[in-house]
Structure 1
Amino acid sequence: MMKWAFVLCALVAFSESLRVPLIKGKTAREALQKKGLWDEYRKEHPYNPMAKFQQQDGTVIMTNADTEYYGVISIGTPPQSFRVVFDTGSANLWVPSVKCNSPACNNHRKFNPQSSSTFQATQQSFTITYGTGYLTGVLGYDNVEVGGIPVKHQSFGLSEAEDQTFYYSEADGILGLGFPSNAAAGSTPVFDNMMSQGLVPNDLFSVYLSRHGQEGSVVLFGEIDPQYYTGELYQIPLVPNAQYWKINVDSITINGNIVACVTGCTAIVDTGTSAVVGPIGEVNNINGWLGGYPRQEQTFSTVSCGNMQYMPDVVFNINGEPFALPPSAYVSQVSNNKCQTGFYGASMGPKIDWILGEVFIRQFYTVFNRKDSVVLLGLAV
């Protein structure tokens, strides 16, 4: 198959005002694990990483237990600042409202419409259902600033009730970078307004997730920056008529052996999911090759921390190119003597085979190109 390499051409004109620094914070799952509450909480609120992709009745569905990278945006005049997760698997912007008195809202910044001279209210309600809970609220319009980009008349959700999962999240809300077809209540996503208002030089954004600490991660709007990757950027077409950032995967291999995706499969590239998620049986097979314990339920697989140096690469073969995840990318330490892999087995939907979350994106600088309907991947520095 032909190798596709992307030529940068005019995209290498940078502006600091078009990028949003991201902070790597603790996920709700990590916070609950530290308190010894995760297993009990998961039994009462089963974690479903597929939930956000199972849209029903105009309601966008997502999960937030496993997101960790967030950046700061502002809403209103004068601006009110919020920490939000930039999520390519959903399409709505929402933040807590001052009308919300749920414990989760009370633990975060809240938007006050009366303090903004440019806010426009609506009577349109919305509901976002999560794999571990829900939120409800109303839609409004206001000016939004993202990375120095002033977006006018942006629709966004003001939550009035939130599930307790959000209590543990370091982010206040979510900014969806998905497609308009997935936006709740007919809202126009922020990036679509950036494009239609002529605010970005190119109809794309790119994501770099640092592997070296809390700082250094960025979302760049309209730009590709070669300082974040080495070698070439490989162009991967989206699945035709896909409603998500979905691509075709040829196979998944370990030491040259096909261990999953035997006859080809699809995968969604999702900044709002921390793990690489796939069918339970196939993930069990991968984890077995890595020395993990097979699990029948939806959970992460435990491995010996001392064996990390001997574990093989897990290779995703995509559009004729190998994209390898080394052990340093897919193994994380959860306690002094306990490690787990970043491969999570779940009951996948009929149209989605795999989710390539942060475990994958940390390894590869990722460009999301709306104009050409492609994703571009380059080895992250």
Structure 2
Amino acid sequence: MAYFGTIQVGNPPQEFSVVFDTGSGNLIVPGSDCASDACTSHRRFDHRKSGGINPINCDGSNVSHGMLPDEITITFGTGKITGQCFTDSICVGAACSKGNFISSLDESYTPFATFSFDGVLGLALDSMAQSNEFSVMSRLHGAGVLKQPLFSVFLSDSDEEKSEITFGAIKQEHMASELYWVNVVGDAGYWQVEIQDIYLGEHPQKLCQGCRVAVDTGTSELAGPSDIIAKLEQLLGSGHDCSNIDALPKLGFAVRGPNGKPKILSLSPKDYTSEGSFGGCNLSLMNLDVPPPKGPLFVFGIPFLQKYFTVYDHENSRAWSLAASPYCASPARDLKRPERCRGSVPLPSLLQHLGA
């Protein structure tokens, strides 16, 4: 499952559907010179049709006279892309600025050919991007087209509600409580915060103290250290057929706020369990073993984001979250919720950046 929306690149603008991905840092769209199946099955950016295009090297430097621009290869665990870099106009809704991006020359069939969307717009912190000029948030903020240097994400779990990403503002109608600030930790560029403990109901378990959790809009799953997941499975005993799901406790993660006091973010049994394809009841957490200093690490994807409205303060490297409201007002930027891609899940970006 993925949530995606539209952006425009070039002048005159060419439209693309992209995943707004907090687990990566660059804008990547298929290029017209890419002949692989993963590109030809999607809309491709034609740099020859843009009057404002400027080829650059992928470190952001200008191309020397008489030289060709260099190329870049980015690996995504199960696949990779090779592309060229350009500077051109990038528009997210009505917010536009000049910015650097990657136009694919080749994309591996797996996983890119199976996606319903064309590309990826990375919204991680600047250290995740090739440079600040490749960070769309930095360029929009620098151009003065955002009221505030932040964005917020509301993901609906119902086809009756429209999901929304808002740039430069926080829509109050999505808030069911006051904002709770959480400081981002580490310098890898992920929107990750510190976990103080894991709770079952109201009871702390003294599991994974000092762990971190990264919130990733490009990941369709929840993931965590395999040893912690094994302990949770033993403690929860979710049952072979999910028959006792209503009796299971909430699964809570206590995150450290700016005053040092914990805030427990809870998932209901229906959020963290699922019925397997061949029957049976499973804990909906993938194994993800990230060694120190980056780990131990949990990754919260779509199941968490469907429950909590999240805001990302790009300038101050702060994120905070709260329970989403049960309704969604008319959004300024709609995100489409497609069917599952051929029975699989879309690119789990952060998991693949971490080599999982």
Retained in 1: the 8 A contact 2:238–2:244?
Answer: no
1:215–1:147 CA distance, 2 compared to 1 (3 A) = farther
Retained in 2: the 8 A contact 1:342–1:359?
Answer: no
Retained in 1: the 8 A contact 2:195–2:209?
Answer: no
Q: Residue 318 of structure 1 is aligned with which of 249, 255, 259?
A: 255
Asked if 1:114 corresponds to 2:60, the answer is: no
Between the aligned partners of 2:137 and 2:27, the Cα distance in structure 1 is: 10
1:261–1:214 CA distance, 2 compared to 1 (3 A) = farther
Greater shift, 220-229 or 254-263, is seen at 254-263
Q: Which amino acid aligns with 1:373?
A: S
Give the aligned length: 305
**For residue 17 of structure 2, what is the aligned residue in structure 1?**
83
Shift of 1:200: 0.5
Retained in 1: the 8 A contact 2:241–2:275?
Answer: no
Q: Which amino acid aligns with 1:361?
A: L
Deviations 1:187-237 (A, max 9, x none): 521000011111111111111111213851111111111211202211111
Between the aligned partners of 1:362 and 1:103, the Cα distance in structure 2 is: 32
Between the aligned partners of 2:312 and 2:177, the Cα distance in structure 1 is: 18
Asked if 1:101 corresponds to 2:35, the answer is: yes
Between the aligned partners of 2:73 and 2:184, the Cα distance in structure 1 is: 29
Asked if 1:162 corresponds to 2:107, the answer is: yes
Deviations 1:20-67 (A, max 9, x none): xxxxxx4xxxxxxxxxxxxxxxxxxxxxxxxxxxxxxxxxxxxxxxxx
Note the aligned Cα RMSD (angstroms).
Answer: 2.2
Q: Secondary structure at the match of 1:285?
A: helix
Between the aligned partners of 1:261 and 1:160, the Cα distance in structure 2 is: 45
Q: Which runs of 5+ in 1 are unaligned?
A: 1-25, 27-67, 294-302
1:239–1:198 CA distance, 2 compared to 1 (3 A) = same
Greater shift, 90-99 or 267-276, is seen at 267-276
Q: Which amino acid aligns with 1:343?
A: L
**For residue 171 of structure 2, what is the aligned residue in structure 1?**
225
**For residue 351 of structure 2, what is the aligned residue in structure 1?**
none
Between the aligned partners of 1:87 and 1:106, the Cα distance in structure 2 is: 22
Between the aligned partners of 1:231 and 1:100, the Cα distance in structure 2 is: 47
Asked if 1:129 corresponds to 2:75, the answer is: yes
**For residue 288 of structure 2, what is the aligned residue in structure 1?**
346
Q: Secondary structure at the match of 1:233?
A: coil
Deviations 1:1-24 (A, max 9, x none): xxxxxxxxxxxxxxxxxxxxxxxx
TM-score (norm 2): 0.79
Shift of 1:290: 3.5
Pick the structure with more helix per residue. 1
Deviations 1:248-290 (A, max 9, x none): 1111111344446442321212112222211101012223334
**For residue 66 of structure 2, what is the aligned residue in structure 1?**
none
**For residue 310 of structure 2, what is the aligned residue in structure 1?**
366
Pick the structure with more strand per residue. 1
**For residue 324 of structure 2, what is the aligned residue in structure 1?**
380
Q: Which amino acid aligns with 1:148?
A: A
Higher RCO (CA-CA < 8 Å; seq separation 6+): 2
* Map 1:203-352 → 2, pairs under 5 A: 203-213=149-159, 216-239=162-185, 241=187, 243-259=189-205, 261-291=207-237, 304-319=241-256, 320-333=262-275, 335=277, 337=279, 340-350=282-292, 351-352=294-295
Shift of 1:135: 0.7
